[in-house]
Chain A
């Protein structure tokens, strides 16, 4: 159930925008059934909302089926019950000084999708307790809602984080006590500065994590610091002259599961033990940092040796180093000839010939089985073959499963068609890939050899997937002026054969589309434009560089 709670007649609250987004949802295919509850308003307001719904036929149909319900104003206790039932609470305000509805919903363990405006930006930890979308963007709101409707683990994880955050920062009696302190001239000055009261990011180095690091490293006299820019619980640990990196593997939801229709049998979760096992699987990988300690119980923890980050290297040298390193990774732990591989090859033929949802389902399961040994026997959705991924996007976009802008759809369609029409599906055995090579993962050992941290996304893939990921990360993502010619030059230079170059180009296109759609479903529109610009120029660049004839 999608919930709107607020005063319907207040134009700042954005109810018409919400209804527009719901109308967009009704046009999408392969979306789980959903209902909409609108809570708040006097009888007069409820009646005017009802008139508004009557004027939009798709919403009127939804209401006739009992899937839109208008509750009017309810008491707080009932409101808490309604928040608890909601999959997601929407706060589509055009303008909002604070947004108490968001806090109430979060307290009840309900994730919040809200416009990026005013206090809502401070209340919601974007991507952690809910999602912020661009204010006044109905398409963007509809897109973020599809992710919550498709992936219940996204709802559950965001909901639980939301509850914790609300309890930490917005408990009423504590805040009112701060107000009362202001009435007393002598007591408040030193007690409550703006910085102290600012809701900041979640505390990563919890007492429990600290004590586990101490216990596993076996030394009380250690210094522990957060080691990444993001919100991942990764810490540098100094013990005397030794330094380690301690990483906790938290449970996260699968991005694929939020993007694509649910696939029976595949886990919509990632992180946690799945990532832990991927790291262990790569323990002997020549590119992996040396593991010093590990612990699978509770929130899995791995402590590795610390290595110097790779810095001060020119882009060209870095490209050379990484392409060689990724080749080494590809030759590590090849898949044995076995029934699983045979099943995969058969599923690949099937998906090529039939291109329907059951053949994709079979292919995804067969791909997941290739990776079973590295995921701790858990079946997870893994993008394995770049042409299949392009085919998947082509079909799902034609089926209108995401509310994507028309220009984005036409650009992606053009690029995919160009690549797929050019070449039959390539039957090649998948090889090991790191799965997430990016600059902050590059390390150097004492002998000057390159290592790559974080094997938690590793999987078996066809073609130079890692190189393509590296190229998109360093040449496309976030760049409105991404240069397609430069990306194609780099493909040409670092791939040895025509087939490798072609597969690399397919991976690049698949990856930029995936990332753009994922960001859009996470409330960010900019990456759609980045990808549109890149795909506009790509066909010329591919042709000019002879990557397709």
Chain B
């Protein structure tokens, strides 16, 4: 597929993770961190970035221009609160329509759209089928793997698996985060084209995460100043 549109504008699409939700509690984890890091990295590389997510809080704006190169669009689909990925999946068609509408309304043009998780993947797949935009997809998790691990069948299981197959087969490039994920894909999705799958793990910043020196006095200082809440005191 040829690249058209704004040659330095990337759309990051994920409806189950708002990159500005801090990870490390409730259901905010590594996926959120990755989206945040990727957006920031792209800006440092001179790209314009639009993050598209679902509005999961009534306190968050629908559109936020964070800086000259970075904006976030929160589609007002479903309740304005954090809901499970399963429930987000039930809003697939509404998300797809809202996405089309927002892109048209804001006259956004992209060099590439990078979707995350099957819901974002399917929305972008439908969009790209009608527009000449490069589609990169990150898997994040696979429905058949979850079922193999004992997760119960849900109303959206069949839709999810069908979407996963369609997304992986139609995307221009697919990212698996580790060889195990690629192996799962090979084993459980014989109908998908693996030639476009690339293994790119999540990364960690070695300038933040490195062996820190230890000293007892530092620990006391950190406990009282840097972590003002301290460890939870349980009686």
Residues of A at the B interface (CB closer than 8 Å) are: 6-7, 9-10, 37, 39-42, 45-47, 50, 53-54, 63, 69-74, 76-81, 83-85, 94-95, 97-101, 103-104, 107-109, 118-119, 121-123, 163, 166-167, 169-176, 178-180, 182-185, 188, 192-194, 197-199
Contacts of B204 in A (CB 8 A): 100, 103-104, 107, 166, 170-172
CB of B175 within 8 A of CB of A182, answer yes
Q: Out of B178, B198, B203, name the residue touching A171 (CB < 8 Å).
A: B203
Q: Out of A46, A98, A167, name the residue touching B30 (CB < 8 Å).
A: A98
Name which of B51-59, B152-160, B222-230 contacts chain A: B222-230
Contacts of B219 in A (CB 8 A): 85
Contacts of B209 in A (CB 8 A): 76, 79-80, 83, 104, 107-108
The B176-219 residues at the A interface (CB cut-off 8 A) are 176-182, 197-206, 208-214, 219
Contacts of A118 in B (CB 8 A): 178, 180-181
CB of A183 within 8 A of CB of B114, answer yes
CB of B111 within 8 A of CB of A108, answer no
Chain A residue nearest to B235 (CB atoms) is A64
Chain A residue nearest to B134 (CB atoms) is A185
Contacts of A100 in B (CB 8 A): 29-30, 33-34, 202, 204
Q: Using A103-B204, A176-B41, A183-B134 as known contacts, list a sample of 16 further A-B pairs with CB atoms less than 8 Å apart, ordered by residue number in A.
A: A7-B27, A9-B27, A37-B231, A42-B26, A47-B232, A76-B208, A81-B212, A97-B141, A97-B181, A118-B181, A119-B201, A166-B204, A185-B2, A188-B173, A193-B198, A197-B200
CB of B199 within 8 A of CB of A198, answer yes
- A94-B26 contact, Cβ under 8 Å, with A171-B206, A178-B198: no
Alpha-carbon distance between A108 and B210 when the two chains are bound, in angstroms: 4
Contacts of B30 in A (CB 8 A): 98-101
Q: Out of B26, B29, B198, B231, name the residue touching A71 (CB < 8 Å).
A: B231
Map CB proximity to A onto B110-130 as digits: 1 under 8 Å, 0 otherwise.
011010000000000000000
CB of A78 within 8 A of CB of B222, answer yes
- A194-B197 contact, Cβ under 8 Å, with A74-B24, A176-B203: yes
CB of B146 within 8 A of CB of A95, answer yes
Alpha-carbon distance between A419 and B38 when the two chains are bound, in angstroms: 64
Instruction: Please report the number of residue pairs spanning A and B whose Cβ atoms sit closer than 8 angstroms.
Output: 204
Contacts of B202 in A (CB 8 A): 98, 100, 103, 170, 175
Residues of B at the A interface (CB closer than 8 Å) are: 1-3, 10, 22, 24-30, 33-34, 37-38, 41-42, 45, 47, 111-112, 114, 134, 136, 139-141, 145-146, 149, 172-173, 175-182, 197-206, 208-214, 219, 222, 226-227, 229, 231-232, 234
Contacts of A180 in B (CB 8 A): 41-42, 45, 47
Alpha-carbon distance between A68 and B22 when the two chains are bound, in angstroms: 25
Shortest Cβ gap from B10 to chain A (Å): 6
Alpha-carbon distance between A118 and B93 when the two chains are bound, in angstroms: 31
Contacts of A84 in B (CB 8 A): 211-214
Q: Out of A119, A170, A174, A188, name the residue touching B181 (CB < 8 Å).
A: A119
CB of B208 within 8 A of CB of A175, answer no
CB of B27 within 8 A of CB of A10, answer yes
Shortest Cβ gap from A343 to chain B (Å): 41
Contacts of A95 in B (CB 8 A): 145-146, 149
Chain A residue nearest to B182 (CB atoms) is A194
CB of B177 within 8 A of CB of A169, answer no
Alpha-carbon distance between A479 and B234 when the two chains are bound, in angstroms: 49
CB of B227 within 8 A of CB of A74, answer yes
Q: List 7 A-B contacts (CB under 8 A).
A: A78-B227, A103-B202, A103-B203, A108-B211, A169-B201, A171-B206, A178-B200
